[in-house]
């Protein structure tokens, strides 16, 4: 895979589409990409947020992004967005799947509507972005990249975030596999897992669509949600997250971790995982299959398209 220049200059002039790009982490990523000279298309749901973002670009004297109204669960809408971006700019080089909802509640009480809404946005939205934009990114020239923004929940489960965690684990697995598929096309692919960030993500439960109203979670009082939201005030500035995302793109990192405070957790995950392996010999035939798997992965990273015949 072609590596980007370390100063990021080769990305100037490339076109990026960022979902949920007018607030929170999406806006921070958009601002960092704009700093690097990329041209932008940003999806949005809230008109007031769109206006504030447009003002930021105007105040900086920069090219206005193409603003695209979009519900990321709308497949037809996503396809139309991809056509609009290509029509406006002529090509698309970068996709940042960022939009998501943060909804919490005990998993054992969840309804089908809870699963359908949270998984539909957090995982389905990423799927829709990939299906709609990958053909256009493959057809473009120059440096290209896909960033799927998940969460530290992709590694760290908790009792109040079962479906949210499942959605982020799914994005993690999809992205780590997709990287092998995109490498032969010269397209980078990164999983970004930010942690506590100064955003309004805490209020997602207040924006639940009527079609998913039948929740199994007990209603949460607005005052309780607002108290929970005070934790986000201690979060990282979204612009700092955005700068770290772009640095990860420049270095073509498979995994972009933005927050430093999780070494203890990762060391525990490593210990528990290694200790869970049975202390016994594996038969030669199985060892050979795993050797082939590792070799195929290395070959994919080096730019070779891998088929089933490479695995046996």
Predicted TM-score of the model (pTM)? 0.94
Average pLDDT, the chain: 95
SS3 sequence of 195-239: CCECCCHHHHHHHCCHHHCCCCCCCCCHHHHHHHHHHHHHCECHH
Instruction: Supply the DSSP string of 36-103, one letter for each residue.
Output: TT-EEEEEES-HHHHHHHHHHHHHTT-PPPEEEE--TT-HHHHHHHHHHHHHHHS---EEEE------
Confidence label for 22 from pLDDT (cuts 50, 70 and 90) = very high
Confidence label for 3 from pLDDT (cuts 50, 70 and 90) = very low
- Write out pLDDT tens, residues 93-128: 999 999 999 998 999 999 999 999 999 999 999 999
Write down the CATH superfamily of domain 9-277: NAD(P)-binding Rossmann-like Domain (3.40.50.720)
Closest CA to 166 of 88, 114, 99: 114
- Write out pLDDT tens, residues 164-204: 999 999 999 999 999 999 999 999 999 999 999 999 887 88
164 as an active site residue: the answer is: yes
- Write out pLDDT tens, residues 253-266: 999 999 999 999 99
- Write out pLDDT tens, residues 244-297: 999 999 999 999 999 999 999 999 999 999 999 999 999 999 999 999 999 999
Answer yes or no: is pLDDT of 219 > 90: no
Confidence label for 1 from pLDDT (cuts 50, 70 and 90) = very low
Tell me which residue has tokens 């972009």. Answer: 256
What's the confidence (pLDDT) of residue 160?
A: 86
CA distance 242 to 24: 10
Q: Where are the domains of the chain?
A: 9-277, 282-312
Say which of 44, 112, 115, 164 is annotated catalytic. Answer: 164
Residue 251 exposure: Cα atoms within 13 Å on the Cβ side: 11
């Amino acid at each position: 895979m072609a590596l980007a220049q370390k100063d990021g200059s080769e990305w100037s002039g490339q076109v990026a589409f960022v979902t949920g790009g007018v607030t929170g982490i999406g806006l921070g990523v958009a601002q960092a990409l704009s700093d690097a000279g990329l041209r932008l298309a940003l999806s949005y749901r809230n008109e007031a947020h769109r206006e504030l973002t447009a003002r930021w670009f105007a105040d900086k004297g920069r090219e206005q992004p193409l603003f695209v109204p979009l519900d990321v669960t709308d497949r037809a809408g996503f396809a139309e967005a991809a056509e609009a971006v290509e029509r406006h700019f002529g090509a698309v080089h970068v996709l940042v799947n960022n939009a998501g909802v943060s909804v919490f509640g005990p998993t054992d009480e969840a309804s089908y509507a809870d699963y359908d809404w949270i998984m539909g946005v957090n995982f389905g939205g990423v799927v829709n972005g990939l299906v709609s934009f990958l053909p256009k990114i493959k057809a473009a020239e120059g440096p290209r990249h896909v960033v799927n923004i998940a969460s530290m929940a992709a590694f760290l489960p908790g009792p109040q975030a079962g479906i949210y965690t499942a959605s982020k684990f799914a994005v993690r697995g999809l992205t780590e596999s997709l990287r092998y598929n995109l490498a032969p096309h010269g397209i980078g692919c990164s999983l970004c897992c930010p942690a506590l960030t100064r955003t309004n993500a805490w209020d997602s439960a207040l924006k639940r669509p009527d079609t998913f109203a039948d929740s199994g979670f007990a209603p949460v009082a607005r005052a309780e949600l607002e108290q929970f939201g005070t934790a986000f005030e201690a979060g990282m500035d979204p612009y700092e997250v955005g700068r770290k995302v772009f640095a990860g793109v420049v270095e073509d990192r498979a995994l972009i971790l933005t927050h430093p405070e999780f070494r203890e957790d990762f060391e525990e995950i490593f210990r528990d995982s290694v200790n869970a392996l049975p202390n016994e010999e594996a038969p030669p035939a199985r060892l050979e299959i795993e050797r082939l798997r590792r070799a195929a992965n290395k070959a994919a990273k080096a730019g070779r398209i891998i088929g089933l015949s490479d695995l046996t």
